[in-house]
Amino acid sequence: MNFDALLAHPLSSLSIALVLGAFIGLQFQKHSEEKHFHPFAGLRTCMAITVLGFLVAFLEQFNSSLPLIISGFFLILILLSYFQSVWQDGRPGATTELSLVILFIVGILVGYGRVNIPIIITILLSIIATAREQLYQFSSRFSKFEIIETVKFAIIIFMILPLLPDRTIDPWNLINPRTTWLLVILISGISFAGYMASKFIGKHKSILLSGFIGGLVSSTAVTTTMSIQNKKQPRLVDPYTLAILLASLMMYIRVLFEVFVVNRALLDTLLIPIGGMLLTSTCFGLYYFYQSTRNHQPKLEKELDISTPLALAPAIKFSLFFIAILALIRVADLYWGDKGIYLTALFSGLADVDAISISLSNLSAEGSIQAELAVRAITYAVISNTLVKLVYIHLFGSKVLRNKVLLGFSTTSLVGLALSFAI
Question: Per residue in 71-80, pLDDT tens?
Answer: 888 888 888 8
pLDDT band at 223 (very low <50, low <70, confident <90, very high): confident
Measured between alpha carbons, how far is residue 270 from residues 190, 253, 284 in Å?
A: 29, 11, 21
Alpha helices in 164-237 (DSSP H): 177-201, 203-215, 219-232
Mean pLDDT of 287-299: 63
Q: Computed from CA positions of residues 124, 127, 133, 134, in that sequence, does the dihedral angle turn out positive or negative?
A: negative
Say how far residue 207 (Cα) sits from the centre of its chain. 14
In tens, the pLDDT along 119-152 reads 888 888 888 777 666 666 666 666 666 667 667 6
Mean pLDDT of 246-271: 87
Residue 80: which residues within 8 A CB-CB, separation 6 or more? none
- The identity of residue 335, as a single letter, is Y
Mean pLDDT is lowest, of 111-125, 330-344, 407-421, for: 330-344
- In this predicted structure, the answer to whether residue 296 has a pLDDT above a threshold of 50 is no
State how far the Cα of 42 lies from the Cα of 27, in Å rounded to an integer. 8
Dihedrals phi, psi of 22, to nearest 5 degrees: -65, -35
Residue 68: which residues within 8 A CB-CB, separation 6 or more? none
Residue 302 has a pLDDT of 35
Residue 351 has a pLDDT of 73
- In this predicted structure, the answer to whether residue 277 has a pLDDT above a threshold of 50 is yes
The residue extents of the domains of the chain are 3-138, 148-421
Between 238-262 and 371-396, two packed helices, what is the crossing angle to 10 degrees? 150
Say how far residue 414 (Cα) sits from the centre of its chain. 32
- In this predicted structure, the answer to whether residue 272 has a pLDDT above a threshold of 90 is yes
- Per this entry, what is the length of the chain? 423
Three-class secondary structure of residue 299 per DSSP: coil
State the DSSP H helix or E strand holding residue 61, giving kind and residue range, or none if neither: none
- The identity of residue 63, as a single letter, is N
Q: Do 364 and 371 contact (CB within 8 A), yes or no?
A: yes
Angle at 186 between CA 326 and CA 210, to 5 degrees: 125
Mean pLDDT of 312-329: 62
Across the chain, mean pLDDT equals: 76
Q: Which of 47-61, 130-144, 224-238, 340-354: highest mean pLDDT? A: 47-61
In tens, the pLDDT along 7-49 reads 556 787 888 888 888 888 887 777 666 655 555 567 788 888 8
- In this predicted structure, the answer to whether residue 295 has a pLDDT above a threshold of 80 is no
Q: Do 244 and 389 contact (CB within 8 A), yes or no?
A: yes
In tens, the pLDDT along 44-73 reads 888 888 888 888 888 887 777 777 888 888
- In this predicted structure, the answer to whether residue 91 has a pLDDT above a threshold of 60 is no
Which value, to the nearest 10 degrees, does the dihedral of the CA atoms of residues 384, 385, 390, 395 take?
Answer: 120
pTM of the predicted model as reported, rounded to 2 decimal places = 0.53
Q: Which long-range contacts (CB under 8 A, 24 or more apart) does 65-70 make?
A: none
State how far the Cα of 305 lies from the Cα of 195, in Å rounded to an integer. 10
Burial class (CB in 10 A: 0-12, 13-18, 19+), 264: exposed
Q: How far apart are the first and last CA of the chain?
A: 62
Query: What share of the chain in percent tops pLDDT 70?
Result: 67
Three-class secondary structure of residue 380 per DSSP: helix
Q: Which long-range contacts (CB under 8 A, 24 or more apart) does 140-148 make?
A: 141/199, 142/199, 145/307, 146/307, 146/309
* Cα–Cα nearest to 360, from 141, 349, 351, 350: 349
- In this predicted structure, the answer to whether residue 236 has a pLDDT above a threshold of 60 is yes
Residue 299 has a pLDDT of 39
Q: Do 226 and 211 contact (CB within 8 A), yes or no?
A: yes
- Kindly state the DSSP code that residue 40 receives in the 8-state scheme: S
State how far the Cα of 349 lies from the Cα of 343, in Å rounded to an integer. 10
Q: Do 184 and 319 contact (CB within 8 A), yes or no?
A: yes
Residue 409 has a pLDDT of 92
Residue 413 has a pLDDT of 92
Better-predicted residue by pLDDT, 141 or 165? 165
* Cα–Cα nearest to 19, from 130, 96, 119: 119
Q: Do 120 and 20 contact (CB within 8 A), yes or no?
A: no
pLDDT band at 291 (very low <50, low <70, confident <90, very high): confident
Better-predicted residue by pLDDT, 94 or 93? 94
In tens, the pLDDT along 391-412 reads 888 888 888 888 888 999 999 9
DSSP letter string, 325-337: HHHHHHHHHHHHG
Residue 8: which residues within 8 A CB-CB, separation 6 or more? 113
In tens, the pLDDT along 195-218 reads 665 555 544 455 776 677 667 666
Q: Computed from CA positions of residues 139, 143, 146, 152, in that sequence, does the dihedral angle turn out positive or negative?
A: positive
- Kindly state the DSSP code that residue 290 receives in the 8-state scheme: H
